[in-house]
Chains A and B, each alone.
Chain A
Amino acid sequence: MSTPSLFPYLLRLADDRLVLGHRLSEWCGHGPILEEDIALANVALDLIGEATLLLKLAGDAEGQGRNEDALAYFRDSGDYRNALLVELPKGDFGFTIVRQFLFSAFALLQMDALQRSSNAMLAGIAAKAVKEIRYHVRHSAQWVVTLGDGTEESHGRAQGALDELWRYTGELFLADAVDRDAASSGVGVDPSTLIEPWRAQVDEILTRATLTVPSVTYMQRGGRDGRHTEHLGHMLAEMQIVARSHPGASW
């Protein structure tokens, strides 16, 4: 696989995790109970850890001397390549949990396939990530069922979150030239091949949770090309301000 395609492919993988990791970190100190506060922070740290490794690899592939910090803190929203799903504000706990489940179920299939990447570094990162994501799926799925099949209040909030989030799920499985190039060279996986197993797992959990997939047909897109919602810029401003205010500082 040529370097020009490897860099954008790795950037998509990394940015999904960096942005969602930051969104989850916003719960730190605000979780509904101490135990869940710690659980969400753990998941956030896993995702930011995966993003760090992937950005480092992306920086090496780019060959312009940018390391993981340069890529995380000194790119503007238009240069981010995450799916729109992960940049939406954290919402209430139900919104955060439903999104986490929808993303983690996708990420598990993706990283499971990437363990067989022809890029040994990427395969190694995926092998580490799969173990973490299995737990993310278990944790978020358990909560989706608890909230969906819970009280009238929790069911309403979980269903509302699903209605809001569903139109952002299609983008996860869109494949363009970058994805197809990555897949055909053996480095990456074509995301469009993951939608069937993803849907099967999502349907199983949603059924147990007594939640209904909304009947929307239009899917939002744009994140993979740098066209983001207004929310990402605000999030990045907060995430990047320390690094940009004190360039080169270490702590």
Chain B
Amino acid sequence: MAESHETSVTNGQTPGDSQWPLWEVFLQPPKGEAHEHAGSVHAVSAEQALQNARDVYARRGEAVSIWVVPSASITASTPEDMGPFFDPGNDKPYRHPQFYKVPRGVRVF
């Protein structure tokens, strides 16, 4: 049943064919912090993506600036990268600032 339903919805195409391109949305909060990822929207053009992002994510004053980026343009790390990329290196304490003693002359600041 699910299959026939899908066929009628997408007019014989595979579901993916009927989707517009996906864009990732980044909002800059009013306090002027860096842009943060808010979510994603579908749109056929950059201007439309910007408008959709405004309507979906920024109509209650959440943002003073919006970036939209084609999702396909983002190169992301993969779960397999977990070990080599993000291992905190706790066995290398000299990578952390706490490893170093602050000289007495600097502490007054």
Q: Residues of A at under 8 Å CB distance from B?
A: 33-36, 38-39, 42, 135, 138-139, 142, 146
**Does B28 sit at the interface, judged by CB under 8 A?**
no
Task: From the candidates B47, B55, B59, name the one contacting A142 in the complex (CB within 8 A).
Answer: B47
Write the chain B residue with the least CB distance to A38: B55
Shortest B39–chain A CB gap in Å is 11
Question: How far, in whole Å, are A146 and B45 apart by their CA atoms in the complex?
Answer: 9
Q: What are some 23 contacts across the A-B interface (CB < 8 A)?
A: A33-B20, A33-B42, A34-B42, A34-B56, A35-B41, A35-B43, A35-B52, A35-B55, A35-B56, A36-B52, A38-B55, A38-B56, A39-B51, A39-B52, A39-B55, A42-B55, A42-B59, A138-B51, A139-B51, A142-B45, A142-B47, A142-B48, A142-B51
6 more contacts with CB within 8 A, not counting A35-B55, A39-B51, A146-B48, are A35-B41, A35-B43, A39-B52, A42-B55, A139-B51, A142-B51
Question: How far, in whole Å, are A39 and B42 apart by their CA atoms in the complex?
Answer: 13
Write the chain B residue with the least CB distance to A45: B59
Q: How large is the interface on B (under 10, 10 to 19, 20 to 34, 35 or more residues)?
A: 10 to 19
**Does B44 sit at the interface, judged by CB under 8 A?**
yes
Question: How far, in whole Å, are A39 and B49 apart by their CA atoms in the complex?
Answer: 12
Shortest B22–chain A CB gap in Å is 11
Per CB-CB distance, the 5 closest pairs between chain A and chain B, nearest first, are: A35-B52, A39-B55, A38-B55, A35-B41, A42-B55
Q: Residues of B at under 8 Å CB distance from A?
A: 20, 41-45, 47-48, 51-52, 54-56, 59
Shortest A93–chain B CB gap in Å is 13
Question: How far, in whole Å, are A42 and B55 apart by their CA atoms in the complex?
Answer: 7
Question: How far, in whole Å, are A248 and B47 apart by their CA atoms in the complex?
Answer: 45
User: Which residue among B52, B55, B59 has the maximum number of chain A CB atoms within 10 Å of its CB?
Assistant: B55
CB neighbours (8 Å) of A135 from chain B are: 54
Write the chain A residue with the least CB distance to B55: A39
Shortest B65–chain A CB gap in Å is 16
CB neighbours (8 Å) of A138 from chain B are: 51
Question: How far, in whole Å, are A107 and B44 apart by their CA atoms in the complex?
Answer: 27
CB neighbours (8 Å) of A36 from chain B are: 52
Shortest A130–chain B CB gap in Å is 17
CB neighbours (8 Å) of A34 from chain B are: 42, 56
Question: How far, in whole Å, are A36 and B51 apart by their CA atoms in the complex?
Answer: 10
Write the chain B residue with the least CB distance to A139: B51
Shortest A167–chain B CB gap in Å is 30
Question: How far, in whole Å, are A34 and B22 apart by their CA atoms in the complex?
Answer: 13
Write the chain B residue with the least CB distance to A33: B42
Write the chain B residue with the least CB distance to A36: B52
Shortest A183–chain B CB gap in Å is 34
User: Which residue among B20, B41, B44, B52 has the maximum number of chain A CB atoms within 10 Å of its CB?
Assistant: B52
Write the chain A residue with the least CB distance to B51: A139
Question: How far, in whole Å, are A36 and B43 apart by their CA atoms in the complex?
Answer: 10
